[in-house]
Structure 1
């Protein structure tokens, strides 16, 4: 059992605003919008036709040729981001024993695009034309499996499914594994369901924006909010036990994963308060952090009026009216489901590094919400402690507290 802090020592990101940390952050800090018309399939017959897509990505440029036909786009993005995270942490092969390293990911939909392609073969050509890789390429746990094989991670492995909230749940589960004796866990989340089958699933949730204006489609905390825009991508981080980092003389530390809590909303119509406030308070208590110490909140930003109101009320209840800067950088990318919260975690540690809070683009704060929303452009600030919030379809709430490390 370990009593050391859980440190973030490597990060990798694949986002509509950039493949790789530096490209991603360069776009994010200036508020570059990556939402646009869907190009990955013909969406003309659907009522929603905007997405946050990753353009110019070719898996064959980054992965072995034999691996590409075995994997869905979501797994390819996850593998490349994990490679980047290990490179970023400067972990040489053999430096950490394989049995001391594991992987925990979050997934919202699995390999939707791969599955849709093989289903078309099944009904159009017959069962013998379906790829043998369909047996695992569609599955929620495939990212964890492929990452563990590619990087020889023989320790604890798992996957969590909780929509947007699942991305934080995965990091928290990784921290539990470190406390039980593992030295390093690669963790994060990815989704890439921009295909006709995935699109139908998004629309079935009833919360997708039907706007055709990229700058006005996804507007959390705005009076004009009418739903969210789906996106693709996510992020991977390496979490290490503090003692392990010292033992290998690790020099790259982005921050500490210091606190976490999760709750579930009560049954609709019960009249009881949603669970987000309790999740925030639980994460602060877990980290031993007073609300006044928090420098920024990376909000979930559902873009759905009822959910935005609930989140604003929870933030105000804990921090007071306009008591802490709040931002929703995912307005540039769309909501990435399981990948969204890990990307916010990356944003948070990069905000700490630079002393800059990225903006909530295109949004004009509704007077109904008494929060200090960072809009328009980035805000210079000393960021030592950041809170990341995530909510998932079905009432999942998660909150994580990150701290800078001197």
Structure 2
């Protein structure tokens, strides 16, 4: 196989999905796309590198899925509908056909779910496998969700069950044990919350996806909006799968400072939070109120007793740690009723307080 054979194979396997909305798709120097009248273009980009974001022995299908999913999650956080993607693939050597077919299987499995066209990309040689994906989407003009709209008095929500992916990463050595499989699935094949993002247009005052940890990403919203938050860690929605392998304190630590969840954290005016019940049902998704937005007074995030959360600035920082995907940063976070540390095996606990509909 030559590089041109590689490109032809990628085009043949990946170039058929979602192309109807493109004026000119894969195969030319650049793609052409005209968004519908009254819409804005939304774009985002993420890079995944072997040894940093995935293990050398990872399933190529999982690598491809996640490289697309993390970008679609950014579009979800903006309330956008995905349209197309660009894929830049760096490899230390030309892959064998089995690796390439598995990679294409993973990409098309997710792209087909959301009608995402591969509009082009690039291939090159590099020291390790690395993928850079750029996604494009569309949103009705003026309706994009942003980070800077949270206001004091708004309710603070999170979707799904954050913490599962972080626990899977920390428990990588136990990955072959059956009880870890649901958590590993959350790490390796995250679900971008695109339907939720679109449903929150015109309802949420601010939103962000959780890639670097709940506290860290919430902090971005608070900084952009100039407000603070009071967080009730007792309401954090912890999955039964997580509580089956770590104790409740460790689970809260994973939920607060772990990353790779790709859930949405968002704020809603209290007068409209009753509308979230219908949203949760329509999306078949658990949505949980975990706190409130307050006036900014000193530190950004405190617990319900007014104590500052010392882990409020923690989260994944590529340039602050030398760890790889085999380990994670150990973050200690004081919560409302307990101290949460990194995941260790232990007993089960409760699942927090879900305030609006959805799947348990």
TM-score (norm 1): 0.27
Q: Which of the pair has the greater relative contact order for Cα pairs under 8 Å at 6+ separation?
A: 1
